[in-house]
Amino acid sequence: MKYEKGFVMVEAVIAFSIFLLLTLSILPFYIHLKQQRANLEREYMARTALYNELLYQTYNSHHHSSSTTNFKFTFQNVQGGKRGCVSWYTFNGKEKKVCEVLFP
């Protein structure tokens, strides 16, 4: 007991393996959160672009798309207003679609 200085190699290996276990168990959750955040940001951009297109078409009566995004717009005239839909693909490859109706 007189010459005990520092850590034993076994203690260092155990501490390192606990660190790896915690890191590798949290990493998939972190990646999932980043993808969800990116998907929500893309959905926000799609909804904003749809609303802007609906406003432009309602008051200017033709299609205007100044953005260079990967959104697909479809529009229909409904009774007293205009219905617009936007579709896009998430980072997981799933197609999402949102529709809104604007009454002037």
Give me the residue spans of the domains in the chain.
9-102
DSSP 8-state secondary structure symbol assigned to residue 61 = -
Report which secondary-structure segment, H or E, holds 88.
Answer: strand 81-89
CA distances 30 to 15, 17, 18, 43, Å, are: 22, 20, 18, 20
* 27-76 pLDDT per residue, tens: 999 999 999 999 999 999 999 999 998 888 878 866 666 556 789 999 99
pTM: 0.71
* 66-102 pLDDT per residue, tens: 556 789 999 998 898 889 999 999 988 999 999 999 8
DSSP per residue over 34-55, as a string?
Answer: HHHHHHHHHHHHHHHHHHHHHH
Q: Do the beta carbons of residue 87 and residue 95 sit within 8 Å?
A: yes
